[in-house]
A = this chain, B = another copy of it.
Amino acid sequence: MSNGLKSSLRKRDQKRGLPPGTVLYVGKERDQKPRMQLLAYDADSVSETELPSLDALPAEGRPGEIRWLNVDGLSDVALLENLGRRFDVHALTLEDVANTQQRPKYDLFDHYAFVTFKMLRMDPDNPKAIIAEHVGLVLEKDLVLTFQEAPGDVFDFVRERIRSGQGRIRGLKADYLVFALLDAVIDGYFSVLESLGERISDLDAELLGRKPSPKYLREIHGLKQQIIFIRRCAWPLRELVNSIQKMRTELFDEKTDVYFRDLYDHCVQVIDNVETYRDLVASLTDLYVSIAGNRMNEIMKVLTIIATLFIPLTFVAGVYGMNFQDMPELRLPWAYPAVLLLMLAMVAGMLYFFRRKGWI
């Protein structure tokens, strides 16, 4: 987790001194070549093409056809600039697409709208790791461009719906596709939150049931870092969806208004959950600290009881182990049992004292 945060700043420094608007890929080096998939559809037909290069992309779609071009991999700057020229995208937008540290935002240009955000999902290889991917999205008339850092995303459900024609997606315009993609992203947030929720719930059960181990602390610390991270992604996402609703443009039809309102509600719910988890984890931490303090008290009590019982007895034994020639008690026949009785009485007194203190 913290590595993710670290790397999210490390690469930015490469940009220092470059003129603003320079497109520079700022992200983890990935060696694979970018992949481009084109999904073109209208109410009646769907076609999917894997594009070997940008030249393979038809200049225009058929009338009424919606085209979704997804690019996996941001490291090929020339490709991005090519795309920018082809679809008339501003250099600052391309800069934001390539800069994987860019904060989520919504920007409106003359003939297109630009959205960038973080896509979250659980790492399939590590049930406790979150994969965050920077995604850029450009909406033009009948065209949606999406840019991802690497293959693998949360959009498969959307693709499936386009292919099968299920739901409204085939009958509506490109703005609805944008909504569907954002909705899939937020569903991804929910699924990440669900995983967090289960881990919090497990910690809760463990804390109340068994002895908490130091491993427990690290787990809580990791949860806190992940919650900090998700908050940082979710708050600007909410702003972003809000901006889409506020800064109206003809790219978004009035008919999709109700869907974006719904999306906004989901964003608020994500944030609600994150804040709730923050409070719950804080409460767990408090509880852990108190329980650890209790255990300390218990340990100290055992030590104190043992020491308080035996140290005085040992002293008495020590006294009668002294080698003075003139110790009259030593010669009395009943002295030994008497001393043993005295010791017993001391123990009884101590135990009474402990009981009154409420220690045993």
Which residues of A are at the interface with B, using a C-beta cutoff of 8 A?
A: 2-3, 5-6, 8-10, 12-13, 15-22, 90, 92, 101-103, 105, 107, 156-157, 160-161, 166-169, 179-180, 183-184, 187, 190-191, 193-194, 197-198, 200-201, 204-205, 208, 211, 214, 217-218, 221, 224-225, 228-229, 232, 236, 258-259, 261-262, 265, 268-269, 272-273, 276, 279-280, 283-304, 306-308, 310-315, 317-327, 329-333, 335-336, 339-340, 357-359
Q: Please state if A225 and B292 are interface contacts (CB–CB under 8 Å).
A: no
Q: Please state if A217 and B324 are interface contacts (CB–CB under 8 Å).
A: no
Q: Please state if B321 and A311 are interface contacts (CB–CB under 8 Å).
A: no
Q: What would 19 more interface pairs be, CB under 8 Å, given A18-B167, A22-B167, A300-B300?
A: A2-B204, A9-B194, A16-B191, A17-B156, A17-B160, A17-B161, A19-B167, A19-B168, A20-B167, A92-B262, A211-B358, A214-B294, A218-B287, A221-B283, A302-B357, A303-B307, A310-B315, A317-B319, A323-B323
Q: Please state if B5 and A291 are interface contacts (CB–CB under 8 Å).
A: no
Q: Please state if A221 and B287 are interface contacts (CB–CB under 8 Å).
A: yes
Residues of B within 8 A of A325 (CB): 330-331, 333
Q: Please state if B198 and A10 are interface contacts (CB–CB under 8 Å).
A: yes
Which of B6, B166, B357 is close to A201, meaning CB atoms less than 8 Å apart? B6
Distance A270 CA – B247 CA, assembled complex (angstroms): 25
Distance A168 CA – B311 CA, assembled complex (angstroms): 80
Q: Please state if B194 and A21 are interface contacts (CB–CB under 8 Å).
A: no
Interface centre among A9, A166, A312, A359, by most B CB within 10 Å?
A9
Distance A348 CA – B190 CA, assembled complex (angstroms): 53
Distance A232 CA – B270 CA, assembled complex (angstroms): 12
Q: Please state if A19 and B166 are interface contacts (CB–CB under 8 Å).
A: yes
Residues of B within 8 A of A332 (CB): 326
Which of B12, B22, B292, B323 is close to A330, meaning CB atoms less than 8 Å apart? B323
Q: Please state if B323 and A190 are interface contacts (CB–CB under 8 Å).
A: no
Q: Please state if A105 and B265 are interface contacts (CB–CB under 8 Å).
A: yes
| With A19-B168, A265-B103, A301-B299 as contacts: A3 and B201 at CB distance below 8 Å | yes
Distance A57 CA – B324 CA, assembled complex (angstroms): 100
Query: Which B residue's beta carbon lies closest to that of A223?
Result: B283
Query: Which B residue's beta carbon lies closest to that of A304?
Result: B303
Residues of B within 8 A of A2 (CB): 200-201, 204-205, 280
Residues of B within 8 A of A190 (CB): 9, 12-13, 16
Residues of B within 8 A of A157 (CB): 16-18
Distance A306 CA – B333 CA, assembled complex (angstroms): 31
Q: Please state if B321 and A322 are interface contacts (CB–CB under 8 Å).
A: yes
Top 6 closest pairs, chain A to chain B, by CB = A19-B167, A17-B157, A317-B318, A320-B322, A9-B194, A6-B201
Residues of B within 8 A of A236 (CB): 272
Q: Give, as a whole number of angstroms, the nearest-CB distance from A46 to chain B.
A: 15
- In the assembled complex, 22 residue pairs joining A and B whose CB atoms fall closer than 8 Å, in A order, are A9-B190, A9-B197, A12-B190, A16-B184, A16-B187, A17-B161, A18-B167, A90-B258, A107-B261, A224-B283, A292-B294, A293-B293, A300-B300, A300-B304, A303-B308, A307-B307, A310-B315, A311-B311, A314-B314, A323-B323, A323-B330, A327-B336
